[in-house]
Amino acid sequence: MQEAAPEADVQLEGFDERLVMRRLLIISVGSSASIHLLRKIAAEVPEILFEDKIMIVETSRDMLNLAIKGLAAVYQMAYTRRSRKRVSGGQFPLSTFIHDLQENSVLLAEAGGATSPERGAHYFTQKRNAVMQKIEEIVAKSEISGIVVLGCTGKGTGTLVTPMLLEELWARAGEDFPHPLGFVTVPYRFFQMDISNCEKAIRYIVEQQIPCFLIDYEQALSIYRYTMGAELAKKGLKIRADAIWNMVVENISMVLGTLIDALNFGQYCNPPIDWSDTLPLFELKGTVGTVMCCYRHREDDIMREWREALDNGIFLKTSVKPSETRGMTIVRAGAGVSIELLESLDRYYTDAWNSTKHLTTYLMRGGGYTIATLLYGFDPLQITPPIAYEKASIAERLKKALGLG
């Protein structure tokens, strides 16, 4: 994670590999999740656009169209690289991709207007049955073996619709319907509105005990400091507003991309994993999870630096370390990794994170070396920095977080 991953390398896949691939349904809720997160994940692992099903939940047609355009552009690029043929918007298979995405997506309202989380929640309540029916249809028709949900808290749509949708999906989960893995982002503490809205999401997650993973943007600041070192971090003070979000988006897409890849190709993991292997994490009731990750181009570097990189690469902190965690770690490297690394990782989660059940698995795919972990067992009421607006200016806060003042 601490280095930029090389351009995703899309290879012509063998027929076999595609035949046995599992299919996931990936649902993004709200504009940032669909336009920024999902597009970046797709750029990281373009296979998801070819093999998985994607559903966008929005309250504005305009935003939905933008999200579809963004994904279509990634699809077009990946398709060209994969088949060495260019394809334009009106042509198969891009036209089919766009059509599918439109069919699978849901507009809770037409013209936006989810100006507060309560309004977003109201729209969802009205369309709840239609949303669930559509998901059921996709699950049955496309033989979906896992569901991933992505949403950003802070504004009107993602804040409450994400936990409410997760609640519905968990209630429906059973033999014929996979449980969801929900990833919910917590905003920077910069803007008052983001924070007061996020509080509503956390309250909902705590009160309704919604199993999910929280990804706190604020942790990106310390990750950035560790990654870039003080010198570059200073330059970070001049970074443009979108770059502040981009550095998180990059890391999140690495973890989720690796995870989705491993679940898609679970049978190529060693040991093989399957969707139900994520269930034991959720037995720690009333807690939430988060993600950790690290990436290095070279094996020497990952062997030397993984521990420090993971200590500094976690996306949620609580004031007290969890007394028990459960988790799953995927090491993804096309070139292979040493058994020592897998063994040390397992020991790290047992010793440093009190993991009582931790599945460490290895996936022989892709360039470089990625370690991606799902870690569960954090108390959502102890998140630090607290989910409270900070009066200090953005520049001051960045300086402090980056260790410059």
Ligand X SMILES: Nc1nc2c(ncn2[C@@H]2O[C@H](COP(=O)(O)OP(=O)(O)O)[C@@H](O)[C@H]2O)c(=O)[nH]1
Q: Smaller CB distance to ligand X: residue 2 or 185?
A: 185
- In this structure, the strands spanning 106-107 and 269-270 are unpaired
Cα separation values, 128 from 14, 121, 125, 137, Å: 40, 10, 5, 14
Q: Binding segment for ligand X among 27-35, 41-49, 76-84, 308-316 (CB under 6 A)?
A: 27-35
Nearest Cα to Cα of residue 176 among 209, 135, 235: 135
33 lines the binding site for ligand X (CB under 6 A): yes
| Contact indicator for 333, 370 with CB cutoff of 8 Å | yes
Q: Smaller CB distance to ligand X: residue 64 or 402?
A: 64
Cα separation values, 50 from 38, 47, 183, 261, Å: 14, 5, 22, 12
Which residue in 46, 158, 266, 366 binds ligand X (CB under 6 A)? Answer: 158
3-state secondary structure of 346: helix
Q: Which two tokens stand for residue 128?
A: 């709840």
The H-or-E segment that residue 97 falls in is helix 94-104
34 lines the binding site for Mg ion (CB under 5 A): no
Q: Binding segment for ligand X among 24-32, 250-258, 323-331, 349-357 (CB under 6 A)?
A: 24-32
**Residue 93 Cβ vs Mg ion, minimum distance, rounded to whole Å:** 29
- CA angle (41 as vertex; 40, 46 as ends), nearest 5: 105
Q: Smaller CB distance to ligand X: residue 169 or 184?
A: 184
Q: Smaller CB distance to Mg ion: residue 157 or 185?
A: 157
List the single partner that 33 binds among ligand X, Mg ion, none, CB under 5 to 8 Å by kind. ligand X
**Residue 186 Cβ vs ligand X, minimum distance, rounded to whole Å:** 9
185 lines the binding site for Mg ion (CB under 5 A): no
Site for ligand X in 282-321 (CB under 6 A): none
Site for ligand X in 84-143 (CB under 6 A): 114
The H-or-E segment that residue 153 falls in is none
Site for ligand X in 178-197 (CB under 6 A): 185, 187, 194
Cα separation values, 379 from 59, 170, 206, 214, 318, Å: 31, 20, 9, 11, 7
Count the residues in the chain: 405
Q: Smaller CB distance to ligand X: residue 36 or 296?
A: 36
Q: Smaller CB distance to ligand X: residue 194 or 216?
A: 194
List the single partner that 158 binds among Mg ion, ligand X, none, CB under 5 to 8 Å by kind. ligand X
157 lines the binding site for ligand X (CB under 6 A): yes
Please tell me the count of residues contacting Mg ion according to CB under 5 A. Answer: 2
List the single partner that 266 binds among ligand X, Mg ion, none, CB under 5 to 8 Å by kind. none
70 lines the binding site for ligand X (CB under 6 A): no
Q: Binding segment for Mg ion among 154-162, 221-229, 248-256, 341-349 (CB under 5 A)?
A: 154-162
Half-sphere exposure of 190 (CA within 13 A, CB side): 16
Q: Smaller CB distance to ligand X: residue 52 or 58?
A: 58
Whole-angstrom Cα distance, residue 346 to residue 319?
24
| Contact indicator for 261, 367 with CB cutoff of 8 Å | no
Half-sphere exposure of 280 (CA within 13 A, CB side): 13
Site string for ligand X, 247-266 (x = CB under 6 A): --x-----------------
**Residue 7 Cβ vs ligand X, minimum distance, rounded to whole Å:** 21
The H-or-E segment that residue 261 falls in is helix 241-264
Which residue in 123, 124, 245, 362 binds ligand X (CB under 6 A)? Answer: 245
105 lines the binding site for Mg ion (CB under 5 A): no
Nearest Cα to Cα of residue 40 among 203, 300, 260, 221: 260
31 lines the binding site for Mg ion (CB under 5 A): yes
Please tell me the count of residues contacting ligand X according to CB under 6 A. Answer: 17
- Contacting residues for 313 by C-beta, under 8 A, at least 6 apart: 1, 2, 223, 226, 251, 292, 293, 294
- Residue owning tokens 């999910």: 212
**Residue 341 Cβ vs Mg ion, minimum distance, rounded to whole Å:** 41
Residues that bind ligand X (CB under 6 A): 30-33, 36, 114, 152, 154-158, 185, 187, 194, 245, 249
Residues that bind Mg ion (CB under 5 A): 31, 157
